[in-house]
Structure 1
Amino acid sequence: MKLHQNPRPTTYLVTGFGDGYLQIGERQLTRTVVLGPGLLREDWGAGSIDQLDAADFAQLTTLDAQILLLGTGPTQQFPPPSLLRPLIDAGIGVEVMDTLAAARTYNILVAEGRAVAAALILPEPVPSA
């Protein structure tokens, strides 16, 4: 499904999604990604919220953002509060939602000119038998 065109080509936006992928501009990504002001970081963390650790979240404190949207896969899952502590200590607000909701919200906040980043978890593909 196509979401919309990016009016500012230097800003990364989620332009579409499908079964097991997000489209960022013209690229289809099938792994977890972090988007932020001038940033596209592929393969951040792991393929599920349960596999993330404190070091994964500590990396996010360096983002130039006031808000971090955490997309946790197909369903909303809250990480342990101890993992969010580095972000809270850095003054970064965290909103947790499913990945597609986080992607849509990220695009809206970027369009509003907000200092926002998104860590979007895409579940690792299940190998076919």
Structure 2
Amino acid sequence: MPRWDRDAPASGPVVQGVGPRGFSVDGGIYPGLLLSPERADAWAPPALAELTIADVEPLLRLQPQPEFLLLGTGAKLSFPPRTLVRALEERGIGIEPMDSRAAARTWGVLRAEERWIVAALMPLG
């Protein structure tokens, strides 16, 4: 049975800040970050050009399946490998790339709207 209740207030991790050391979430600092409505985990991704579906797989196990993946690509917007985009599309999951600061802000806005999404935020440096 899905744990998501559309009538419940949005919950889960909140990104409180972004700085040179990483993302501040619930008292911890994470250089790279995987976010779901249920948890925040440290993430040490490969270079963007080498990013694969396996690198974001922990997020894709969420039930029900997330609407889309917010992909923070570091200090500036860059586009993910086409193979990653296709692999997500094959699962019916969209991807929204943006710089990691914008992705952290967007996470907060969309979760406040109770959107069932996930995020992978690459380090800024």
Normalised-by-shorter TM-score class: 0.7 to 0.9
Equivalence for 1:70: 71
SS at match of 2:123: coil
Structure 1 residue ranges, 4+ long, deviating more than 6 angstroms after superposition: none
Taking structure 2 as the reference length, the TM-score comes to 0.80
Once superposed, what is the RMSD of the aligned Cα atoms?
2.1
1:97 aligns with 2:105: no
Equivalence for 1:11: 12
Taking structure 1 as the reference length, the TM-score comes to 0.77
Distance (Å, rounded) in 2 between the aligned partners of 1:116 and 1:54:
16
CA contact under 8 A between 1:49 and 1:79: conserved in structure 2?
Answer: yes
Equivalence for 2:45: 45
Question: Percent of aligned positions with the same letter in both sequences?
Answer: 35
Q: CA deviation at 1:18?
A: 1.2
Higher relative contact order (CA 8 A, sep 6+): 2
Equivalence for 1:4: none
Distance (Å, rounded) in 2 between the aligned partners of 1:57 and 1:109:
19
5+ residue gaps, structure 2: 1-8
5+ residue gaps, structure 1: 1-7, 125-129
Distance (Å, rounded) in 1 between the aligned partners of 2:52 and 2:68:
20
